[in-house]
Amino acid sequence: MLPRVSVIVPAYNSENTIGRCLSAIEAQDYPLRLFEVIVVDDGSRDSTAEVIKQHGVKYLWQTNKGPATARNKGVEQATGEIILFTDADCVPEKNWIREMARPFDDKDVAAVKGAYRTGQKEIVARFCQIEFEERFEMLRRASSIDMIDTYSAGFRKDIFDKMGGFDTSFPAANNEDTELSYRMSAKGFKMAFNPNAVVSHLNHPASIKRYARIKFWRGYWRMVVYKKFPDKMLKDTYTPQTLKFQTLLSLLAALSLPLSLFIRPWGGILLTAALALFFLTTLPFLKIALFKDPLVAPFAPALLFLRAVSIGTGALWGTIRR
C-alpha cells in the first residue's frame, strides 16, 4: 500500500523558479489523493506569493527566519506519514514522489535521499554537477548513509518529530540538513540513497565568485556541525576523503608561497611538493569528469583548488568565530 505523503517546499524570493517546481510536483505519477503540497513563504519580498497561489497547494507565510524554520513550520501542518522536502529552485521528475517513497517499504528506513541533476551549460555549474556525481558514487556503495540533503529528502514524520526537526539556529540553507542527518546517524537510524529519485536544479552556481562564496560558507557552517559531531570530521559517507587532503594541501601551498620568496630553496620545494600532491589527489575526480562531462575536465584542477581554498578559509573562520 502506498503511503500518504506531504511535500514541503520552503520559498524565499523564488518568483522565477517556484512555478516550475510546483507544476512538476502537481504532475507527479503518484495518486493525487495520497499527497499534499505545502509551500512555506519565508517572508518573500517579490511576487513569490502570487505565483504560489496560482497552484492548488497549501500556502503558509512567516517572517524571514530561514529555511530550517520554514520546513519545520510546514511539517507542523503536514498530514502525511512520509515527509518529503525539495527546494523552490528544483524541478522533480515525474516519478520523484514514487521513487522517494519506495525505500520506505523497508520499515527500518527512517530517511531517504534522492539525487540532483542540472541542465545548465556554464562550466562552473557543470563542474558542480560532477562534484555531486562523485558523492553519489560514494553513496551507492554505502549500505546506510549519514547525509540527507534537503533538495531531495524524505523522512518518516514520527521520527522527524521525535528528532525535533531542523536546528533553527542555522540561519540559511547551509548545513542544517547535515546537522539533522548526523543527529539521526548518532541515534542509529537507517538512511537510504535512491539515485532514481531525481530533481533538476535550476541554480547551480554558474560564476566563480558565487561558487567560491558558497564554498566558503559551506566550510564555515560545516565546522559548526563538526564541533557537535567531531567523529564525522574523520569520515562520513558523503564527503570524499580527497577533499579533506586537498583542503589541507591548498592551505599548505598558500603558506608556502611567501616562504618560497624568503627561504630558498626550501620554501620553493615545499610549495612544489604541496602542489604536486594536490594534483595527485585530483586524479579520481578527473576520471569521473572525463566519463561524465569531458569538457569540464581541463578546468577541474583549478576549480578543485579554488574549492579547497574557499572551504579551508571558511573552516578556519568558523573555528575562530564559533
Q: What is the pLDDT of residues 233-271, one digit of tens each?
A: 999 999 999 999 999 999 888 888 776 777 778 677 888
The pLDDT score that the predictor gives to residue 123 is 97
The pLDDT score that the predictor gives to residue 267 is 74
Overall average pLDDT of the 30-44 stretch: 96
Cα 104 to chain centroid distance, Å, stands at: 21
- pTM of full prediction above 0.75: yes
User: Distance between CA atoms of 312 and 4, rounded to whole angstroms?
Assistant: 43
Describe the crossing of helices 241-262 and 300-321 by its angle, rounded to 10 degrees. Answer: 90
Give the pLDDT band (50/70/90) at residue 322: low
Overall average pLDDT of the 53-60 stretch: 94
Choose the CATH number for 5-206 among 3.40.50.2300, 3.40.50.1000, 3.30.420.40, 3.90.550.10.
3.90.550.10
The pLDDT score that the predictor gives to residue 256 is 82
CB atoms within 10 A of CB 133: 18
Sorted by where each begins, the domain ranges of the chain are 5-206, 241-321
Count Cβ neighbours within 10 Å for each residue of 26-61 and write b for 16 or more, e otherwise.
Answer: eebebeeeebbbbbbbbbbeeebbebbeebebbebe
Q: Which of 18-27, 162-171, 313-322 has the lowest mean pLDDT?
A: 313-322
Cβ contact 244:276 at 8 Å: no
pLDDT one-digit tens code per residue, 263-310: 778 677 888 889 999 999 999 999 999 999 999 999 999 999 999 999
User: Distance between CA atoms of 303 and 124, rounded to whole angstroms?
Assistant: 8
Overall average pLDDT of the 103-108 stretch: 96
Cβ contact 30:107 at 8 Å: no
As given in the structure block, the three cell numbers for residue 200 are 533538476
